[in-house]
Structure 1
């Protein structure tokens, strides 16, 4: 038999949510153990935001998250705001700046955020055990027992903060879902999110535009995002595409407005002003050359505007305003920034993140079926859900 070390809480996962939860619980006087199979804490934080960590978004609100229960995130997000986290970053003397759309980044490096979290854990006397895979998790008599490497520990509270399977090269796995099923928690089908889309069939010709980017409005269903789209050698990427990918389902089209600033009737207006121009020349003035040529080829409008009926020009406008792509898939978890789906919110308290039917079991961060938009929203969910659980343990 193992001799079990005893703690008040064991947190599985030394990522953003796990470390922050540990710091909060530790500073409330709880004895906390964090376990992670990685050899260093916060590995995914280090690669985030191009190495500068897009640590929150000042426009955070619940409608910027996907979940089977769109109201679930409101409580935690309402009780721990972006400003609360900014105050912590400021207290640690970390310089930051706002990029577009409310996204906050470190001026220096994502390493500063990891160092801050580890410092906060130190203040709370948190024990962090790295470099050994978890071998077993058991529960009986109101105690959770965890075995990793050749060691074991037990506690009345267990926090699942192991994230989702996105970016497997960083060591990400579906371990959280295995644990959820062990404790009879439902799992909403996980899928890659914030991920590039792939094109096949006759749309493969767009791959020849690899490297071309332009500002668009991208649409999946009724959800729209205005940001840059980027053509890749596999299909479509860029912020606008990553955003709609979370809402896209196999078999559905993605619509792109290539000229979001064009006024209705712009082509017929151009016909009056520049009758000798062509659709190709008009597009060439508004879009990157290779993209303009490809779209003009697909539309097949080489006649002068003067020789083209208004109804044909109106139809061309409509096509350019909602160009339909039919992605045949995504680039998968390897390229997904996050995982959509996950442990169902149905079985969790939105106040504390505790499993309703399994006292002492908490689920936080990306492991939960709450997925934010691109741009710091997923970090804010990590902080807010960690704060909810860390304050309750």
Structure 2
């Protein structure tokens, strides 16, 4: 196997309960008890089947639609560039890697600027069957592309996505989790951002019984930029968990994280844990992370934990924020005082809460689909939208 990248060697030296030792060896990732800091929010009984060593049962069909000039293929275990970006940080990621004999491989050639997105569609038809999936995305120097990962249907899914953004490249990755309500999904998506490269990641989670996703970024040189955006909507009984780790291990790098969620229904539960590590070498960096949650009904719970670990004071700026609350009474009063129906006012507040993130995707058809999905979720809480009632 290709030599483990410097990020793994660096993380091993960090004395922190937030960073378990990365390793491909399953023995280094015992079955969690729930007392560990990185597992304390996760409903382990509900994902017990994901924690078992189970071979891939072909539960997912994977199709890739790529423009001309993009290389699409497969990589065996140990075949580079597989394993050169992502080293599993927990048991789920280690099981995904060991249980996937072949990885899907997508390479955008140097200097190519794709006018159309690359679509990777993953669809399941059996909620009791395991799928172990590894996808490797490479944007070669000075290329520009968008990749959309679309998850639909039912399955028990362990998924790793390795993302290599090479010098001067600009890559956007959109990961849409639109699962049926019986799906279990554990995933880790890790990007290496090279010198003067730009990486944008948009995470969207709506469905699933339990969804637990890690989104990680580290740098391979100065000048790298990373923007991580996300939105999620949890209904009764759903558990949606997002964990971010941005490792500023190079100077003159930039990151911005903005995740927003809404919850409705009894036992709807969302978790957001964001961690930014600024190493001693990472002078002149700038970073900010924020998480906002909107609780729409009684019985829902949102946990939000932002973290900053700073090893140098020679930085441009670093900060974080977290808010969780109900509808903004002032906004609702402003709208209703101007004759807007109270339910319509609530809908407008929620759509305004999400629309900034949705428009960052930059794909009109996908944006329209997400807006329609939010409207569908809101129909359970505040009724059908006025323009639908009136047949517009």
Structure with greater Cα Rg = 1
- Structure number having the greater strand percentage: 2
Between 1 and 2, higher relative CO (CA 8 Å, sep ≥ 6) is seen in 1
TM-score by length of 2: 0.23
- Structure number having the greater helix percentage: 1
